[in-house]
Amino acid sequence: MKTLTRLLAVLFAVVLVASACGDDDDATTADEGTDTTEATAADDEVVEDQPADDGGDGEADEPMDDDAAAGFVPGSPECVAPADAGGGWDFTCRSIGQLFEDLGLTENVVVTNQPGGGGGVAFSDIAANRNDNSDLVIAASPATAIRFAQNQYEGLTADQFRWIGAIGADFGVVAVTDDSEFETFDQLMEAVEADPTSVVWGGGSPVGGQDHFKVLLLAQELGIDPAAVPWVAYDGGGEAQNALLGGEIAVFPGDVSETIGNEDLRILTVMAQERVPALPDVPTTVELGYTTIFPIWRGLLAPGEMSDEAYAFWVDALGQVEASDEWVAARDENGLSPLRLLGDDFQGFALDAVDDFRTLSEPFGIINE
Amino acid sequence: MMLGFNLVDGFAAALTPENIALALLGCLLGTLIGVLPGIGPITGVAILFPITLSLGLEDASTLILLASVYYGSQYGGSTTSILLNVPGEASSVVTTLDGYQMARQGRAGQALAIAAIGSFIAGTGSVIGLMAFGPPLSEVTTQFQSPEKFLVVVLAFATVSSLAGSNIFKGLLAVVFGIMLSTVGIDLQTGVPRYTFGELKLQEGMDFVVIAIGLFAVSEVLTLLEDTVRGENVVFQQAERIWVTFREFLFSLGAIVRGSAIGFFIGLLPGTGASVAGFMSYGLEKRLSDRDATFGSGDIRGVAAPESANNAAAGGSLVPLLTLGIPGSGTTAVMLGILISMGIRPGSGNVFAETPELIWTLIASMYIGNLMLLLLNFPLVKVFVKILEIPPWFLMPMILVISYIGVYSVNNSSLDITIMTIFGLLGFGLRKLGVPLAPILMGLILGDDLEQNFRRSLVASQGDYATFLDGWLNLALIGLSIVVLFLPQLLSRARGSNVKDEFADAGAEV
């Protein structure tokens, strides 16, 4: 028995140390290690046909970009989720990364979680240290665009990155309780227009965050002062729903995926062009005669100095994922609606969105100087 | 009756040899994850979930494995609180107060054992609570809005004002410092960063684990170093027994039962959860039972109460999750993701009625995880207690190295390392000045709830302070806070003994 105890103690210590090191490896060391070796191999191949490099500083990844001229294939593909495991960006990396591999488009995609600063830690690290990495993609959503608009990423701007594409979108909804005085979206809008302070809204983001922007956009369309609409910020959509059910707030501008199936809620409208499969009976804002829509797209972007060949590869690969049956299944399971915006189209769309978000943020003093 | 029958079905589905093996593996793995500084139950479950998916296990097996990992890692966190004075997560901060003292007195085995036993009893109690009141209790959840939550936090502060120690002034100073730390980061109501000094990393606020390891572990090593330099040789007394006696168990039973009840009800409130439950049960236990002022110097009830409360809170938080689809804590949020991936959408009608198999399998799984942890503890406690045979001059620096590696590996941030070191030095200084450290962590953990719920209440009521007096629930909470503050005085008057009046003064200002 005593030996067994000793043995267990030793085993315990080994696992303890091993797992601590293991984490470290996953995040940085291992990836960089493989990068270097593979890049060197690629370097040898390309010397003959294209001796000059792009004028970069000779970082390990540079030669791989050249190789891509003859058909780029990422040597050690990696998807950075700029947040902890379990959230939306993590889902994007894990689901799309898995499909890249399953569809035979890339090798095994390593998912790296790099939380902090609402994504800012990851973006500033990539811009500073891996800006020419062509194997690397980053998960993004409107929250990314909003933070770019408010200068929350340490002086980085949206056009310093390459926007690859967005596939699949959740849509904003406007929800009230099923015994609410507001039977239709029009009734709600009339009440808000008549007296913006009369209806208290609340959601899972701070002022100027994703949920609050739905209110700002609607207020802008109504032509009322967006700052006059009372906004209560909760720690996530779950708490906001609880507040709605308890009557603390009257309206919750949430997302389709977090509200479908909840029988205590009445969803007045989906902030989209066309009806979404998950809520076939709910009219959209466009149907009701408004122009505001709010797609929460799931997308990828890339470091600013990714080569054109690599960018073309990732755009094409993401398009193939979007067209696959496997993606349709994953999308439906997570309550997302179809969306396909790739390459330059997406780049233009995203940069426009950033401009809009910036204009709307200005009155709130939340844009970093 | 219907519900009871379904739980039996749940156990039938859960109890296969394969699943029992998975539960054992999960608990072991979870315990190892939990003792690693920086990785708590949430991260553990979030990391392991994709792996279990790729194993292609059945739904029931996946639930059992993850529930076991969850319990294991929560217990692992308590282990480091007791053995090393390093709270692994917010809910086990108070466990350090008496747990570590017990370890120094050679009673680490009893502390670990009572934590496991208390958790097990609390787990059993919360399964019964879920079965009996699950669906009706969901009504209670929506009654608790921001004003009520604010008052619950006030009640928590009132209950634990006894933590402030012998010098009220220093205790309050520590609480206020903790609350100040909790204001660092992006303010939820305005979206404006506060006290971040342009550091992106600080936008998400002060990381509890980093502060806790700095204040407790790093300063502990510094104190140890100082003692060694002075020639005082610090040794832990060797353990005589490694399990509790029946007498000790009976002695702690009241604390366990009260801790379980408090934990379960606090767990019902979304967003409050386990950390508040731990503090409150400890505070209340100290108020009620600390006749000889033994709390804080190795009283076994000081370990039993918060550890039971933690565990019961995990059970309680399943109620809003399963009935309303509202995740009340980080762990239940991860669990919600898991359930959705299995095709269950909690909140859409009555999941107890519509998908009883998986719901009751989930509850049965949590219970099996709980039981397995207790069984696993008979051999594990021996192993853990052995760690204390390593001389402190070697052990503590080792722990420090592992802590630094662990903290760094979670976020890959050198800023974390800097903050941890600064707080280590600060903790060392504060110890010399006699400022208690636990209230700092309490302020850090509860400060955000206090502030945000206060401001939410006022935004929602459009500036009307009467919102805090609106409704019987608010009035009851205010009344309870006042009673709790003056409880020691009342008790001492009733007993005719002279419990120090300062407990009452301590809370009056919080």
CATH code of residue A195: 3.40.190.10
What are the residue ranges of helices labelled H in B268-300? 274-289
Domain identity same for A144 and A272: no
Alpha carbon distance A223, A242 (integer Å): 30
Given this model, what pLDDT does residue A179 score? Answer: 92
* Nearest Cβ partner for A124 among B200, B324, B349: B200
Q: For residue B132, what pLDDT band results from cuts at 50, 70 and 90?
A: confident
| Residue B317: closest CA among A213, A242, A325, A226 | A242
Tell me how many domains chain A contains: 2
Q: Using the beta-carbon criterion (under 8 Å), do B203 and A120 form an inter-chain contact?
A: yes
* Residue A142 scores a pLDDT above 80: yes
Looking at this predicted complex, what is its ipTM?
A: 0.73
Is B298 inside any structural domain?
yes
* Nearest Cβ partner for B405 among A20, A202, A247: A20
**Average pLDDT of chain A to the nearest whole number:** 80
Residue B382 lies in domain: 2-232+243-508
Q: What is the pLDDT of residues B193-210, one digit of tens each?
A: 889 887 877 887 888 878
Q: Using the beta-carbon criterion (under 8 Å), do A117 and B203 form an inter-chain contact?
A: yes
Alpha carbon distance B495, B485 (integer Å): 17
Q: For residue B39, what pLDDT band results from cuts at 50, 70 and 90?
A: low
> Where would I find the beta strands (DSSP E) of chain A?
78-81, 110-113, 136-140, 162-171, 173-177, 201-203, 231-233, 265-270, 295-302, 337-342
Ranking A110-124, A180-194, A296-310, B158-172 by mean pLDDT, the lowest is B158-172
Q: Using the beta-carbon criterion (under 8 Å), do B413 and A121 form an inter-chain contact?
A: yes
CA B380, B386, B388, B393: dihedral to nearest 10 degrees? -130
| Averaged pLDDT, B451-472 | 91
Using a CB–CB cutoff of 8 Å, tell me whether A172 touches chain B. Answer: no
Q: For residue B292, what pLDDT band results from cuts at 50, 70 and 90?
A: confident
Is B237 inside any structural domain?
no
Q: What is the pLDDT of residues A209-263, one digit of tens each?
A: 889 999 999 999 999 998 899 999 988 777 888 889 889 999 999 988 878 777 7
Using a CB–CB cutoff of 8 Å, tell me whether A363 touches chain B. Answer: no
Q: What is the pLDDT of residues B303-350, one digit of tens each?
A: 999 999 988 888 888 777 777 666 666 667 677 777 766 766 665 555
Ranking A33-42, A296-305, A346-355 by mean pLDDT, the lowest is A33-42
* Residue B407 scores a pLDDT above 70: yes
Q: What is the pLDDT of residues B425-439, one digit of tens each?
A: 999 999 899 888 888
* Nearest Cβ partner for A16 among B36, B333, B410: B36
**Chain B, window 12-31: residues with a beta carbon less than 8 angstroms from a chain A beta carbon:** none
Domain identity same for A58 and A128: yes
Is A18 inside any structural domain?
no
B-chain residue closest to A258, CA distance: B325
Report the 10 Å Cβ neighbour count for A149: 25
**Average pLDDT of chain B to the nearest whole number:** 79
Which of A250, A268, A293 marks a domain boundary?
A293
* Nearest Cβ partner for A366 among B36, B192, B410: B192
Q: Which residues of B touch A365 (CB under 8 A)?
A: 192
Using a CB–CB cutoff of 8 Å, tell me whether B405 touches chain A. Answer: yes
Given this model, what pLDDT does residue B163 score? Answer: 62
**Chain A, window 316-345: residues with a beta carbon less than 8 angstroms from a chain B beta carbon:** 333-334
Name the one residue in this structure whose structure tokens are 């053995």. B83
Tell me how many domains chain B contains: 1
Given this model, what pLDDT does residue A30 score? Answer: 33
Q: For residue B270, what pLDDT band results from cuts at 50, 70 and 90?
A: low
Is A12 inside any structural domain?
no
Q: Using the beta-carbon criterion (under 8 Å), do B188 and A8 form an inter-chain contact?
A: no
Q: Using the beta-carbon criterion (under 8 Å), do A94 and B144 form an inter-chain contact?
A: no
Whichever domain contains A45, its CATH number is 3.40.190.150
Using a CB–CB cutoff of 8 Å, tell me whether B471 touches chain A. Answer: no
Higher pLDDT, B45 or B461: B461
Using a CB–CB cutoff of 8 Å, tell me whether A30 touches chain B. Answer: no
Alpha carbon distance A359, B308 (integer Å): 52
Tell me how close the Cα of B144 comes to any Cα of chain A, in angstroms.
Answer: 8
Domain identity same for A275 and A212: yes
Question: Residues B224, B393: contact at Cβ < 8 Å?
Answer: yes
Question: Residues A154, A96: contact at Cβ < 8 Å?
Answer: no
Query: If residue B42 lies in a helix (H) or strand (E), which one and from where to where?
Result: helix B41-54
Q: For residue A167, what pLDDT band results from cuts at 50, 70 and 90?
A: very high
Domain identity same for A248 and A287: yes
Using a CB–CB cutoff of 8 Å, tell me whether B333 touches chain A. Answer: yes
Residue B481: both structure tokens together: 């806070």
Given this model, what pLDDT does residue B350 score? Answer: 58
Query: If residue B24 lies in a helix (H) or strand (E), which one and from where to where?
Result: helix B17-35
Domain identity same for A150 and A207: no
Helix (H, G, I), strand (E, B) or coil at A167: strand
What pairing do the DSSP bridges indicate for beta strands A162-171 and A136-140? unpaired
* Residue B85 scores a pLDDT above 60: yes
Higher pLDDT, A54 or B388: B388
Q: What's the distance, CA A365 to chain centroid?
A: 24
Higher pLDDT, A178 or B411: A178
Q: What is the pTM of this model?
A: 0.76
* Residue B505 scores a pLDDT above 50: no
* Residue B128 scores a pLDDT above 70: yes
The number of C-alpha atoms within 13 Å of B468 and in the hemisphere containing its C-beta is 17
Q: What angle do CA B305, B307, B313 make, to 5 degrees?
A: 100
Domain identity same for A166 and A302: yes
Given this model, what pLDDT does residue B494 score? Answer: 67
Q: Using the beta-carbon criterion (under 8 Å), do A263 and B334 form an inter-chain contact?
A: no
Is A23 inside any structural domain?
no
Alpha carbon distance A69, A50 (integer Å): 10
Percent of the residues in chain A that have a pLDDT greater than 70, as a whole number: 80
B-chain residue closest to A243, CA distance: B145
Q: Using the beta-carbon criterion (under 8 Å), do B32 and A15 form an inter-chain contact?
A: yes
Q: Using the beta-carbon criterion (under 8 Å), do A206 and B387 form an inter-chain contact?
A: no
Q: Which residues of B touch A333 (CB under 8 A)?
A: 341
Q: Which residues of B touch A153 (CB under 8 A)?
A: 200
Given this model, what pLDDT does residue A11 score? Answer: 41
Alpha carbon distance A34, A60 (integer Å): 10
Question: Residues A199, A250: contact at Cβ < 8 Å?
Answer: yes
Residue A258 lies in domain: 173-293
